[in-house]
Amino acid sequence: MIYAAPTINDNTGLSNDYRGQEFLRPNVAGSAASQTKSQMLNTYFAGYAFTTPLATAPYGNVGRNSFRAPGFEQWDFAVNKNFRIRETMKLQFRSEFFNILNHTNFGVPDTKTTDAAFGTIRSTYPSRQIQFAAKLLF
C-alpha cells in the first residue's frame, strides 16, 4: 500500500533514478468485508478506508506487507517417452502442460491509494499452456 507523495510530504530525498522511489504508506482504518470473487475484482480492499497522512507526519500506519494478493493455484504436468532408434541413439518425445486444470489466477490489485483504479484487479496470469518437443539423443 503506497500513496503518491506530494512534494510537501516527500521527505525521503529519493527520486526515480538509480536511488529508488519514495514509497510512503497511508493510514488505514476498518476491517475486511466479505465479498464474492466477482466483487473482489472491483473492490479488493472493501471495508478498509485509506487516507493520506498530514504533511507534518507523512508516515502512515499501514504496516509493510500488511495485505496479500489473491491466492495462486497452478498444477503443472509433464510426460516424456523415449524411443530407441539404434543402440546409441534415441528419440525423446516430451509434452508439458502448465496450469493443466486451467484455474483462473488473478493478478495483483492496484495498491496506490491516489490512483483512480485503486483496489481493482485488471489482470490475470496465463491460462493453460501446452508445449510439445522432440529431441534426438546420440
Could you report the per-residue pLDDT of 3-61, keeping only the tens digit for each?
Answer: 776 666 666 655 555 555 667 788 898 888 888 888 999 999 998 988 888 877 778 88
Round to whole Å and give the CA distance between 75 and 80. 17
Q: What is the tens place of the pLDDT at every residue in 13-27?
A: 555 555 556 677 888
- Domain assignment of residue 52, given as a range: 27-137
Secondary structure (3-state) at 26: coil
Residue indicated by cell numbers 510426460:
79
The bridge status of strand 89-98 relative to strand 77-86 is: antiparallel
Angle, alpha carbons 123-129-131 (nearest 5°): 150
* H or E stretch covering 37: helix 37-40
Q: What angle (nearest 5°) sits at the alpha carbon of residue 103, between those of residues 101 and 109?
A: 160
Phi first, then psi, for residue 96 (nearest 5°) are: -125, 135
Residue 5 lies in a domain: no
Of residues 98, 46, 38, the one with CA closest to residue 73? 98
Q: Which of 9-18, 109-118, 123-132 has the lowest mean pLDDT?
A: 9-18
Q: Is residue 8 part of a domain?
A: no
> Does some domain include residue 2?
no
For residue 18, being part of any structural domain is answered with no
121-135 mean pLDDT: 95
In this prediction, what percent of the chain has a pLDDT beyond 70? 86
Q: Which pLDDT score, from 0 to 100, does residue 85 have?
A: 93
Domain count, the chain: 1
Amino acid code (one letter) for 24: L
